[in-house]
Structure 1
């Protein structure tokens, strides 16, 4: 949507001073994932959103944002893990069939191909999937500390 020439975009709603600390806690709650691996990063925002959603519309909105983003990251990680497991397994199975067919070179090629895919594809993407949510969470904390609401990128709107 284009704005008419000379007009300004609507102002970003400000978070009142009294609601900034709870909003910061909501956005920092995914750090629970360091204590409870696998689901802590989702349980933290869920608990924070449930605790603060009735206090104000802003806290309800920011809680949904944090929860939706963590659910999305969890889904992306799960799909990535399944895809990697399937591809890695296919490489190993292909190598086993090649070795069983009497071609040990084919078996070694499949094994090293699977290991190369692990180090060239899986490790870097895992680092991105680990670091990206932390960076975005810090950006959310900075924005909320300035009194502005934050919208997470690449977030599927599960909870509306």
Structure 2
């Protein structure tokens, strides 16, 4: 039975198997590089590694879904800047992105699956 931990900062699930150190590294990079390169890093990792490792594929898909969800939120914040609340929301969104991406990076390095909160699942 899978262990699952839910919180405001995401959901942590126990993996079905123990991933190799290379798989952990690639899973970790799919979250860490997304901080700097947005959806491009997890997209590239997903396209390159999707057939090689289910573990890496799942982390890359989760990171990609989160980054696409953030892109939508950033667009909404841009339009809300005209009423001044968008600036504050964008700052909070940046901080939230940084925190949960770091948590996801740590979980991937531990060999655990991580589900981002408030994420629209576009890629299954």
Gaps of 5+ in 2: 4-13
**1:79 maps to which of 76, 87, 98:** 76
| Aligned partner of residue 150 in structure 1, secondary structure | strand
Q: CA RMSD in A?
A: 1.7
Task: Tell me how many residue pairs correspond in the alignment.
Answer: 112
| Aligned partner of residue 156 in structure 1, secondary structure | coil
**1:138 maps to which of 82, 97, 102:** 102
Gaps of 5+ in 1: 1-8, 34-40, 89-117
**1:152 maps to which of 112, 116, 119:** 116
Which is higher, the Rg of structure 1 or of structure 2?
A: 1
| Aligned partner of residue 129 in structure 1, secondary structure | helix
TM-score for the superposition, normalised by structure 2:
0.80
Contact preservation (8 Å) 2:80, 2:86: no
Change (3 A) 1:15 1:68: farther
- Correspondence 1:14-53 to 2 at 5 A: 14-18=17-21, 19-33=23-37, 41-53=38-50
Q: Which runs of 4+ in 1 moved over 3 A?
A: none
TM-score for the superposition, normalised by structure 1:
0.64
**2:57 maps to which of 49, 56, 60:** 60
TM-superposed deviation, 1:43: 1.2
| Aligned partner of residue 16 in structure 1, secondary structure | coil
Q: Is the helix fraction higher in 1 or 2?
A: 1
Q: Is the strand fraction higher in 1 or 2?
A: 2
Contact preservation (8 Å) 2:61, 2:123: yes
